Structure 1
Amino acid sequence: MIFPNPEDLSPEEFELLVKEWFESCKGELSSFNATQRQIKSGYDGDYEIDVAISFEIFGGAKIDVIVECKKYKNPVGRDLIQILKDKKNSTGSHKAILITTSTFQSGAIEYAAKNGIALMEVVNGAAMFIQASAASARELPSIPDKLAALVWPEDPEGFMALPMAISKKRIFVLEHYLEDGWAQNKAIHPTPAHSCLRK
């Protein structure tokens, strides 16, 4: 899924596209549901959640995720991450994600890393996790690659391995794959990088 130019979107339209992006990535998740502008009750009041997501794992355990959408031009600061963390704790949600059309200040990234808040940026129309959980922050390149793909190789037993990112600046993973003995006679299945990019 490709995000349009943020300049052409209202905040509400951006939220709806984020909701649709998560729906496109639900895969095999059971009882998946994503709702825009949902009211969730917390121990200190009610909150309007930009995108509220729920699904089940392990045969019935319900997982709640709250997503904050920020259509910004300026970098997102630590204060917004702290508000989102407090909102997550108050509502009893299991995970919180902040996605923006801008970038994040270093203090925001550091605070999110310490508190397990996932951060996402929309870069060249693609939604990208720059930090998925506690202590896993990484920086995006200042000039992101425009040409990219994901490759799913197979191991000798026929199982799908983890996807490998391929771009003009990152062809080394493809080189290593092709040089590896077990890669011979195995199919490579590239897919556009904008479809469900994940860390």
Structure 2
Amino acid sequence: MTEDNRTLRYPHPAITPGEFEEFVAGELLGAAGSEVDDLVVTVHEKIVGADGAYDIDATVRYRFAGMAFLVVVEAKLHRNPIKRELVQVLHQKIHSVGAHKGVMVATSPYQSGAVEFAAAHGIALVTVTESRFVFATRDTTTARPTFVAHYSGGAGSRGLVLSADDDDHAACVATFLLGQPA
């Protein structure tokens, strides 16, 4: 069964785009607070970049090892698969505003071109289905029940399945979504 077939089995969430953005910011990204210093997650922060101003769905600012980091996040409440072009737009925003990492969280699967582009540029892709998170890049293939990251594949990679109840939940978010060094 392909990634697209697995995620399409689950119904589309009955929430508004604003509620989805709040969920991504508070529930998903806020989990890393115990792993990093001074974590601040903001919904709809306006950031001026090299080529203009952007309204970012969510930003994550934190400190680790005395350094300040910025992660930009796009939340997509879509029914159709996410195309490469949307990931390319996120990549442009990352470079324009000088962010350290980009994350796209969607309610639909990603087309193969989107996954390939994200993997080539270090952008984390997450699919949310029925309280499940499927990480689609960075050695990623499957999902978990309430919050599971499943990473496998690629030379030298390791498999990982993590539930929200696990002690490593916050560390997983910090490492794989925020890009914190392990």
The TM-score normalised by the length of structure 2 is 0.73
The 3-state SS of whatever aligns with 1:114 is helix
Counterpart code for 1:165 = V
Aligned counterpart for 2:96 among listed residues 76, 90, 97: 90
User: Aligned pair 1:41/2:43, yes or no?
Assistant: no
The 3-state SS of whatever aligns with 1:68 is strand
Q: 1:149 touches 1:191 (CA, 8 Å); kept in 2?
A: no
User: Aligned pair 1:32/2:39, yes or no?
Assistant: yes
Moved over 4 A (4+): 144-150, 195-199
- Cα deviation, residue 123, structure 1: 2.8
User: Aligned pair 1:139/2:141, yes or no?
Assistant: yes
2:124 is aligned to 118
Q: How many residues align?
A: 153
Aligned-residue sequence identity (percent) comes to: 29
- Cα deviation, residue 6, structure 1: 4.6
- Cα deviation, residue 24, structure 1: 2.4
2:63 is aligned to 56
Q: CA RMSD in A?
A: 3.0
- Cα deviation, residue 97, structure 1: 0.3
User: Aligned pair 1:191/2:165, yes or no?
Assistant: yes
In the TM superposition, what whole-angstrom CA distance separates every residue of 1:111-143 from its partner, at most 9, and x where no partner exists?
A: 111111110011331233222xxxx34333xxx
Counterpart code for 1:72 = H
- Structure 2: gaps (5+ residues): 1-10, 150-157, 177-182
- Structure 1: gaps (5+ residues): 151-161, 168-189
The 3-state SS of whatever aligns with 2:165 is strand
- In 2 relative to 1, CA 148–112 (structure 1 residues): closer, same or farther, beyond 3 Å? closer
2:8 is aligned to none
Structure 1 or 2: more helix by fraction: 2
User: Aligned pair 1:165/2:167, yes or no?
Assistant: no
The TM-score normalised by the length of structure 1 is 0.67
- Cα deviation, residue 26, structure 1: 2.2
Q: Larger Cα Rg: Structure 1 or Structure 2?
A: 1
